[in-house]
Amino acid sequence: MRVVIQENYEKMCKWAADYIAAKINAHPGDRPFVLGLPTGSSPIGVYKELVRMNKAGEVSFANVVTFNMDEYLGLPREHDQSYWYFMHDNLFDHLVDMKPENINILNGMTDDPEAECAAYEAKIASYGGIDLFMGGIGVDGHLAFNEPFTSLSSRTGVRALTTDTRIVNSRFFGNDPEKVPAYALSVGIGTVTDSREVLVLINGHNKARALAATVQGGVSQQWTCSALQLHPAAIIACDEAACGELTVDAYRYFLDIEKEERL
Ligand code: GLP
């Protein structure tokens, strides 16, 4: 696993946006570039930079198909906390050449969640899988909404949110955890690790424990993000603040080995 440590959040986002744009630009045009995307506060700076690059003509989304990681169950698209709303507000509405028909987000209002999730997996497969899945993680290491003790080979399905996650996410719901939906639809850990590449953003002091568990703990369903240790092409992009629980030797190793990536 690669761990690219940048000095701060802005540089982490710039590095990640440059990495994604370079992958899109290098992709042969004979089939779409399939990009997995997260929500949350972590990717906002990456989306801002991708929008800037797109408007400046530095990267085109005309041949990009996207699949989002997750969506709250029971929130309509128009709800300002739905992930559909978030993605349009922070990314899709600002891209000059993103085709709406190329955007895939699980439908949180489905009356048949299992069929919705099976169709999502089938659609990903119909494109030949995901080229690059960008993700973020929760403070408990959850990747998408795969909370601790979700199977590391899980596929897209319904997930119960833990009380901890509802408390953390209540900052977007008037600080009332009861207003945070109790369930979500989410890609599985297996769905993410089937992607050709995975890039996970980890920033801030509050993610330090999760970063250490992801990189230096054993592979364990308690920290679902640790499944990335078995992926042949997984990258963590992080900031200094998130490194506080890494051992000094690990921190120095990654700084050394990735010194050319430091912005
Ligand atoms: C939510 C999402 C995750 C996201 C996580 C972290 O729980 N389901 O996909 O990675 O929050 O969010 P943030 O980046 O705001 O810390």
Q: From CA 246, how far away is CA 154, in angstroms rounded?
A: 28
Distance (angstroms) between ligand 1 centre and the Cα of 169 equals 8
Q: Give per-residue pLDDT as tens, 8-37.
A: 999 999 999 999 999 999 999 899 999 999
For residue 11, what are the contacts with CB-CB under 8 A and spacing of at least 6?
239, 263
Q: What is the mean pLDDT of residues 120-142?
A: 97
* Residue 82 CB less than 6 A away from ligand 1: no
All domains in the chain, ordered by first residue: 2-257 (3.40.50.1360)
Q: What phi and psi, each to the nearest 5 degrees, are found at residue 62?
A: -60, -30
Residue 29 has a pLDDT of 86
Q: Give per-residue pLDDT as tens, 184-199.
A: 999 999 999 999 999 9
Distance (angstroms) between ligand 1 centre and the Cα of 141 equals 10
Q: From CA 93, how far away is CA 28, in angstroms rounded?
A: 25
pLDDT tier, 120 (very low <50, low <70, confident <90, very high otherwise): very high
Instruction: Show the CA angle centred on residue 92, arms to residues 88 and 95, nearest 5°.
Output: 145
Whether the predicted pLDDT of 246 surpasses 90 = yes
Q: From CA 242, how far away is CA 78, in angstroms rounded?
A: 33
* Residue 42 CB less than 6 A away from ligand 1: yes
pTM equals 0.96
pLDDT above 90 covers what percent of the chain?
A: 100
Mean pLDDT of the chain: 97
Q: Give per-residue pLDDT as tens, 220-237.
A: 999 999 999 999 999 999
* Residue 141 CB less than 6 A away from ligand 1: no
Kindly report the protein residue whose alpha carbon is nearest to atom 13 of ligand 1: 40
* Residue 36 CB less than 6 A away from ligand 1: no
Rounded to whole angstroms, what are the CA distances from 132 to 52, 135, 216?
Answer: 20, 10, 23
Residues annotated as catalytic are 70, 140, 142, 147
Residue 227 has a pLDDT of 98
Residue 219: how many other CB atoms lie within 10 Å: 12
Residue tagged 């008037």 (tokens)? 174
Give the mutation target among 12, 13, 39, 73 for probing the ligand 1 site: most ligand atoms within 8 A of CB: 39
* Residue 145 CB less than 6 A away from ligand 1: yes
Kindly report the protein residue whose alpha carbon is nearest to atom 12 of ligand 1: 40
Q: Give per-residue pLDDT as tens, 50-96.
A: 999 999 999 999 999 999 999 999 999 999 999 999 999 999 999 99
Q: Give per-residue pLDDT as tens, 208-218.
A: 999 999 999 99
Distance (angstroms) between ligand 1 centre and the Cα of 218 equals 22
For residue 149, what are the contacts with CB-CB under 8 A and spacing of at least 6?
221, 222
Supply 263's token pair.
């912005």
* Contact yes or no for 70/187 (Cβ under 8 A): yes
Give the mutation target among 9, 42, 82 for probing the ligand 1 site: most ligand atoms within 8 A of CB: 42
Residue 170 has a pLDDT of 95
